[in-house]
């Protein structure tokens, strides 16, 4: 029917970026399963996947009661040793019966939630990206817990260089004519509706996680630039406030680095409108211009002092 997921993204609670080997330890959520690490073009570490059992109402825009039973797939990721994510998703399918089956049935279909009774994909998609009623499947809570699991690792020093809120991206993927709709809701909430050709594959999850990472980077850089109060505070002070962005964020922008080729057109269309990279570049330029101007000011002040 459709696939729904939620990604929570935040700054890793550590003073600096963590090494690849620390990533492996932090993300080792399951005995006997390795953490997958890719190093090009940016270090990206992905934990093994874990399942959570659910038996509850699914969010429906019509508020009709739709019961789903099955398992949620969750995983954590660390990008550039700096950005942490908790991500969960389920494939929603119709059940062949209208009663709950023994649990082993659901475990033979990991990551699938079966709908008992009638349900329409559109109703569920609207319900999930809208305002889900309490008591419905809460993927946000599951992803939040997985992100907490990473952040609570004893290997982290919990001295993050700046405070920045987590963002959540709730996404729905369906098969059909290709389209993508990215919506900003509150400061921290985003939704994504994606229609892709062909059947669902986990590459779609990679795309959503990649978008969530970059949306978080952009959001965080905006917050830092805003906090610097450029123009309203003395140059040196503004630059000092911009420093965390230079130290910790600006090198992390690698859009679509881990996205399979058949899905890159979705990223490209978001680059045209709203133009994530365009906004990122303009912010980065702004930060660099501030630093350059401040350096010039410092140089001329030093020269002035030398002449006296």
Partner 1 sequence: MTPVHATFGEVAAERRIASVPLSHVSVELGHLYMEDFEAGPDRLREQFRRVAPWLATVRSLWRERVPGGRARVSTCFLVDDYFSRFSTPAELVPMVLEAAAEHDLSIDYLARESACAQSGGVELARLVEDRLVDDPPPETDGSRPPVKETGWLCNGSRSPRTAPLQAMGKARPWEPPAQNAKRGHSIFVDVELWDEKGPRRTWSCPFLAAVWQLLRLGLLRSEGRVPLPPVALDGGWPRDWDGLPAVVRLNPQAAPFSAYTTLSVLSPRFLPVELAVRTILSQVAVDDEVLRQVATRSESEGVRLEEELVDRISYVFV
Give dist(CA 103, CA 244) in Å, integer. 48
Give dist(CA 187, CA 289) in Å, integer. 27
Q: Closer to partner 1 by CB, 143 or 167: give it.
A: 143
Contacts with partner 1 in 112-171 (CB under 8 A)? 135-139, 141-142, 145
CA dihedral (42, 47, 48, 52) positive or negative:
negative
Residue 34 binds partner 1, judged by CB under 8 A: yes
Which of 96-104, 182-190, 207-215, 216-224 is the region at the interface with partner 1 (rule: CB under 8 A)? 96-104
Give dist(CA 199, CA 9) in Å, integer. 27
Residue 55 binds partner 1, judged by CB under 8 A: yes
Count of residues that bind partner 1 according to CB under 8 A = 40
Give dist(CA 180, CA 267) in Å, integer. 9
Query: Per-residue string for binding with partner 1, 269-298, x by CB under 8 A?
Result: ------------------------------
Residues 6+ apart with CB under 8 A from 36: 45, 46
Which of 104-112, 161-169, 186-194, 206-214 is the region at the interface with partner 1 (rule: CB under 8 A)? 104-112
Residue 33 binds partner 1, judged by CB under 8 A: yes
> How would you class 254 by CB atoms within 10 Å of its CB: exposed for 0-12, middle for 13-18, buried for 19 or more?
middle
Q: Closer to partner 1 by CB, 44 or 248: give it.
A: 44
Which of 51-59, 205-213, 237-245, 274-282 is the region at the interface with partner 1 (rule: CB under 8 A)? 51-59
């Amino acid at each position: 029917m459709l696939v729904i997921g939620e990604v929570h993204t935040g700054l890793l609670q550590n003073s600096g970026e963590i090494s690849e080997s620390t990533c492996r330890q932090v993300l080792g959520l399951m005995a006997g399963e390795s953490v997958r690490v890719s190093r090009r073009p940016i270090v990206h570490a992905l934990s093994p996947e874990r399942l959570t059992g659910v038996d509850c109402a699914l969010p429906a825009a019509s508020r009709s009661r739709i019961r789903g039973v099955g398992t949620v797939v969750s995983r954590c990721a660390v990008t550039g040793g700096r950005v942490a994510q908790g991500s969960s998703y389920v494939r929603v399918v119709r059940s062949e019966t209208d009663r709950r089956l023994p649990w082993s049935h659901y475990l033979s279909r990991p990551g699938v939630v079966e709908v008992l009774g009638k349900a329409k994909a559109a109703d569920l998609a609207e319900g999930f990206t809208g305002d889900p009623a309490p008591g419905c499947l809460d993927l946000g809570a599951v992803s939040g817990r997985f992100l907490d699991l990473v952040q609570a690792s004893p290997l982290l020093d919990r001295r993050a260089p700046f405070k920045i809120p987590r963002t959540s991206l709730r996404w729905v993927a369906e098969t059909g004519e290709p389209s993508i709709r990215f919506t900003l809701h509150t400061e921290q909430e985003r939704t994504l509706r994606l229609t892709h050709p062909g059947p669902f594959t986990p590459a779609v999850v990679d795309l959503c996680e990649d978008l969530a990472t970059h949306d978080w980077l952009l959001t965080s850089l905006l917050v830092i630039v805003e906090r610097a109060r450029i123009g309203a505070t003395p140059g040196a002070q503004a630059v000092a406030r911009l420093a965390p962005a230079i130290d910790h964020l600006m090198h992390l922008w690698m859009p679509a680095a881990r996205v399979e080729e058949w899905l890159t057109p979705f990223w490209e269309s978001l680059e045209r409108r709203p133009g994530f990279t365009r906004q990122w570049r303009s912010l980065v330029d702004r930060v660099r211009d501030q630093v350059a101007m401040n350096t010039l000011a410092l140089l001329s002040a030093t020269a002035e002092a030398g002449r006296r």
